[in-house]
Structure 1
Amino acid sequence: MRFASQIDPNSDSFATNRAEMLALVNDLRTLEARPIELSEKRRARMEERGQITPRERLARLLDPGMPFLQLHSLAGYMVDTDDPETSVPGASLIVGIGFISGTRCMVVVDDSGIKAGAMVEMTGAAFLNAQEIALRQKLPFVHLVESAGANLMGYRVEFWANGGKLFRNLARLSAAGVPNLAVLHGPSTAGGAYMPGLADYVVGVKKNGMAALAGAALVHAATGEKANDRELGGSEMHAEISGLVEYLAEDDAHGVEIARDVVEGLDWNKSLPVSRPRSFEPPVLDPEEIAGVVPKDTRIPYDMREVAARIVDGSRFEDFKPRYGVSTVCLQAAINGIAVGIIGNNGPIDPAGATKAAQFIQLCGQANTPLIFLSNTTGYMVGTQYEQAGMIKHGAKMIQAVTSVDVPKITLYIGASFGAGNYGMSGYAYEPDFLFAWPNAVTGVMGGEQAAGTMEMVARAGAARQGAEVDEAKLAKQRAMITAHFDRQSGAFYTSGRCLDHGVIDPRDTRRILGFCLETCLEGRARNVRPASYGVARF
């Protein structure tokens, strides 16, 4: 059924919403430009070494004109510094899904223009997420390597301990029958040497590519041996003596060209069933209008159906149990001709909404229908009425259904996503296939005002029990401090900086990104791979 919108694009509220949302999108683009500008400052030095920049390597690797979905563009933002004006996002990585020789691949590029590509805490988190997506979606994993290794100035023992997962996941990819390929553009030393070491295919670039457990300086300090970096770990040595490198490239461009040829030689799409082109009708309601539909202030309500109607084919959907559990919206629709189930929020989740959602999730599981979660909820309802109505057990049903359903799940934080409501709406901890946030989104255990109000009531109750006077000035200071502490951590840019999603997106790109992710998920599930009990080893 085609949705009849109640939104007036000429209204003052639409204009206000649009202006505020586009200002946030502009902030996002400004942040994303920072690592590009910083990396570009190293162009002259790289050209002196006969290299091309990391982004030029990426551009040459990908098929021209084909889509590329960048992930984790804000990784590391506000992690190593509290200054939002100087924090550089990206974590010295460029991560995304794109097409190489017609094959959909996961691509990771070390941004060696920033601190020589040295890894920080969120580099590891973004890298791990990329590996896990590649494993889940059966995407060949291509890594363009040039990194100074871990940033020892920010060393913490847990960073080193967790770093082992990067190498474990390369072994898991290979054992699962998902090929991984490394192009050695520059140094990869210490633990980083296992990036090419655990790759199924290694391309080494002459003169600059280098992999060694210890560079010449460390070897001399540890053993007294006066060694040469090229003899220790140069691409030429590995191609001729150690056998680490399968393909020796003349320069960066040649290395990328070889990588494309290797991926083409995989014939990775041969096991996919022949797919018929899907016919579909674009939304009747313009996706561009989403920026004016959703208010920046998460306390202002709006109908989630207005968002869905600007995402789905033909602006058509069937509303599942619309009169039951009305604050939880369950819709049957299609995106790019792919049937989907959509769950959204028009407020907190009550017992009826939780049971409706749980049933709808199970029905989608039965029909093998992908699920899309449009999360905008303050959580599950609280209070005597709702506790007696079984909020805990009904909310638990919803969480069980989300956890257990075996269909692709894509989550979007498009407003508030607080408390256990985030869990029921397939939040970060529930490992959806893809998770993105709009720039207006706020997430956390609860809002700052609610947290401050809760702690104030605790303080007042404690004073009353002791028969003590309440220090109003002290309470006001506590209230302001707690509100600021919670709210500072809830914004989309802050949480995305900690890799608690796969990226922040422009709301107007939602349909395009959902279509790309759905195709990726369905392709991965249809693909046959040849797993083994262990990964391919180099002899």
Structure 2
Amino acid sequence: MQVLRSRIDTRQPAFQQNREQMLGLLAEIEQQLAIARAGGGEKYVARHRARGRLLPRERIELLIDQDSAFLELSPLAGWGSEYTVGGSIVTGIGVISGVECLIQASDPTVRGGTSNPYTVKKTLRSFEIARANRLPVIQLTESGGADLPRQAEIFVPGGRTFFEITRLSGERIPTVSIVFGNATAGGAYVPGMSDYTVFIRGQSHAFLGGPPLVKMATGEDAEEEALGGGEMHARVSGLADFLAEDEYEAIGITRDLVESWSWRKLGPAPTEPPDDPVYDPEELLGIASVDLRVPFDAREVIARVVDGSRFHEFKPLYGEQLITGWASLHGYRIGILANNGILFSEESEKAAQFIQLCNKLDIPLLFMQNVTGYMVGTVYEQRGIIKDGAKMINAVTNSKVPHITLMMGASYGAGNYGMAGRAYDPRFVFTWPNHRIAVMGPKQLAGVMSIVQRQAAMAAGIPIDEERDAAMRAAIEAQIERESTALFATGQLWDDGIIDPRDTRTVLGIALSAIHSNVVRGTDSFGVFRM
């Protein structure tokens, strides 16, 4: 493989401007992450600590192997909504006793750890990741069940969480629940459905109905410990498999339990030299354009992410707006599709062929999105852009090797679909802070709406109100601008988190390692390619 040659001049004003703007966006993201980490706020954190209990991220830190990384997923779920940022749960991938696991930790400082609609979305997404990648699931449970005033939004989709826990068990993927406090109502089914449970004496409680509900339902004055205490479940009901004296022992028991599985990955181990890129990842801050109207060469990103900056480019002279080729990342072989602009027929056909080749070779695919969509216009329609774009989307849809998607710029229109957007089931989706996602750009969308309304007015013989049209365009632009930002998208869980561009290699490496916990195998079976 050739080492990519960088043509970036870090002294150029454009580079410095990109860098400053990206740092500004990262500072904004960090502010929002601080809000998420604060949980329910100082008052409720202090009350939790006064009970002698650890916070969810402290529990995770003790649970995972010392000095190992924890890749937190969807940390800004619920951003921009009425709910506390983070969805009242922490989810992510961490290594426990040498085994990569999917970890879920209730945040009891946010309304007692109760589930809101974003908790459910985030939990279901984490189960999806665990199942697709064959990751054992460790649940750090302390939840009051559903946030009852919002039960209409939670009850039906929330039932899927219990389905997923039991389906994981059925697929021989272990599930563990450590009950750190109350597991009430729906929360009680988390340990009830798990393969293994760890309770804490005098601290854990699990019951379908707590003392107040029992009183209302039956008239019984139930005592909390007798009703659902850890010792009762260990001695009487049998719900508790292990009984710890405190949180530290519960975490230790869980680490020992994971070690006892002798868990083995089913995918191939790294086969290539995992040497660092030749070029400094710090330079990624100045390469990607914050102003998405300004293009940048995706090869410059690839050169700062893959092993040794080595890249074996496929079809470099054909369909030049889409870069395709092979590389390795932390020793794992990958096929890369990266946008250098809009997709034409040539790019679409090139992508479809490349995806088929990677499926023949059982090589995972990394899609690096910076795309405004497929080309439109009379010439391109006559040349077959619809059927050629359909070939690419067909290949993406029916590809069976794992996909990872990195949003490093624009993601507009059907280009999002063709480059393995969230709707096309990539194993992971990560975004940079400059990412924008929508049907089309704000100005374009407002312009289309204006043209449509003008044509309707002309057909009806109604005079065009230019002032009203300008106000409508401005309002639509402002709306799309708000709803297409990286923060809005991650708040809706359209991705698995916004990452610092400088961390791209590390984040993708963790994701690739997790992917190889399961079988990595391509397919020969694709849908009908319209010729």
Interval containing the TM-score (normalised by the shorter chain): over 0.9
> Are residues 1:2 and 2:18 paired?
no
Match of 2:124 among 128, 150, 165: 128
Match of 1:208 among 203, 220, 225: 203
Report the counterpart of residue 186 of structure 2 in structure 1. 191
CA distance in 2 between counterparts of 1:347 and 1:48 reads 55
Report the counterpart of residue 45 of structure 1 in structure 2. 47
SS at match of 2:146: coil
Report the counterpart of residue 93 of structure 2 in structure 1. 97
Moved over 3 A (4+): 271-278
Contact 2:145 2:185 in 1 (8 A): yes
CA distance in 2 between counterparts of 1:49 and 1:249 reads 17
CA distance in 2 between counterparts of 1:208 and 1:339 reads 47
Contact 1:21 1:291 in 2 (8 A): yes
> Are residues 1:12 and 2:13 paired?
yes
> Are residues 1:429 and 2:423 paired?
yes
Report the counterpart of residue 140 of structure 2 in structure 1. 144
CA displacement at 1:272 relative to structure 2: 5.5
Amino acid at match of 1:259: T
Report the counterpart of residue 28 of structure 2 in structure 1. 27
SS at match of 1:142: strand
Report the counterpart of residue 336 of structure 1 in structure 2. 330
Match of 1:67 among 62, 66, 69: 69
Report the counterpart of residue 254 of structure 2 in structure 1. 259
CA displacement at 1:50 relative to structure 2: 3.0
Q: 1:296 and 1:526, CA in 2 relative to 1: closer, same or farther beyond 3 A?
A: closer
Report the counterpart of residue 212 of structure 2 in structure 1. 217
Match of 2:222 among 219, 227, 245: 227
CA displacement at 1:314 relative to structure 2: 1.8
> Are residues 1:164 and 2:164 paired?
no
> Are residues 1:480 and 2:482 paired?
no
> Are residues 1:76 and 2:78 paired?
yes
- Alignment root-mean-square deviation, CA: 1.7
CA distance in 2 between counterparts of 1:59 and 1:315 reads 33
Contact 1:50 1:251 in 2 (8 A): no
CA displacement at 1:279 relative to structure 2: 2.4
Report the counterpart of residue 531 of structure 1 in structure 2. none
Report the counterpart of residue 306 of structure 1 in structure 2. 300
SS at match of 1:299: coil
Amino acid at match of 2:506: R
Aligned length: 519
Match of 1:372 among 366, 385, 404: 366
CA distance in 2 between counterparts of 1:80 and 1:433 reads 29
Query: Residue by residue, what CA displacement relative to the aligned partner does 1:327-366 show, whole Å, maximum 9, x if unpaired?
Result: 1111222212222111111111111110011111111111
Q: 1:246 and 1:525, CA in 2 relative to 1: closer, same or farther beyond 3 A?
A: same
**TM-score under structure 2 length normalisation:** 0.95
SS at match of 1:340: strand
Amino acid at match of 1:109: A
Report the counterpart of residue 529 of structure 2 in structure 1. none
Contact 1:137 1:521 in 2 (8 A): yes
SS at match of 2:21: helix
Q: 1:402 and 1:526, CA in 2 relative to 1: closer, same or farther beyond 3 A?
A: closer
CA displacement at 1:143 relative to structure 2: 0.4
Q: 1:472 and 1:486, CA in 2 relative to 1: closer, same or farther beyond 3 A?
A: same
Amino acid at match of 2:162: F
CA displacement at 1:184 relative to structure 2: 0.6
> Are residues 1:496 and 2:490 paired?
yes
Q: 1:428 and 1:526, CA in 2 relative to 1: closer, same or farther beyond 3 A?
A: closer
CA distance in 2 between counterparts of 1:278 and 1:319 reads 17
CA distance in 2 between counterparts of 1:43 and 1:183 reads 20
Contact 2:270 2:333 in 1 (8 A): no
Contact 2:271 2:333 in 1 (8 A): no
Report the counterpart of residue 248 of structure 1 in structure 2. 243
> Are residues 1:456 and 2:450 paired?
yes
Amino acid at match of 2:24: A
Contact 2:36 2:76 in 1 (8 A): no
CA displacement at 1:472 relative to structure 2: 1.0
Amino acid at match of 1:201: Y
Contact 2:267 2:518 in 1 (8 A): no
> Are residues 1:111 and 2:112 paired?
no
Q: Which runs of 5+ in 1 are unaligned?
A: 82-87, 528-539
SS at match of 1:77: coil
CA distance in 2 between counterparts of 1:317 and 1:276 reads 17
Query: Residue by residue, what CA displacement relative to the aligned partner does 1:121-148 show, whole Å, maximum 9, x if unpaired?
Result: 1111111111111111111100000012
Matches within 5 A, 1:511-526: 511-525=505-519
CA distance in 2 between counterparts of 1:313 and 1:326 reads 23
Q: Which runs of 5+ in 2 are unaligned?
A: 522-531
CA distance in 1 between counterparts of 2:113 and 2:184 reads 12
Query: Residue by residue, what CA displacement relative to the aligned partner does 1:348-395 show, whole Å, maximum 9, x if unpaired?
Result: 111111001111111111111111000011111111111111111111
> Are residues 1:175 and 2:174 paired?
no
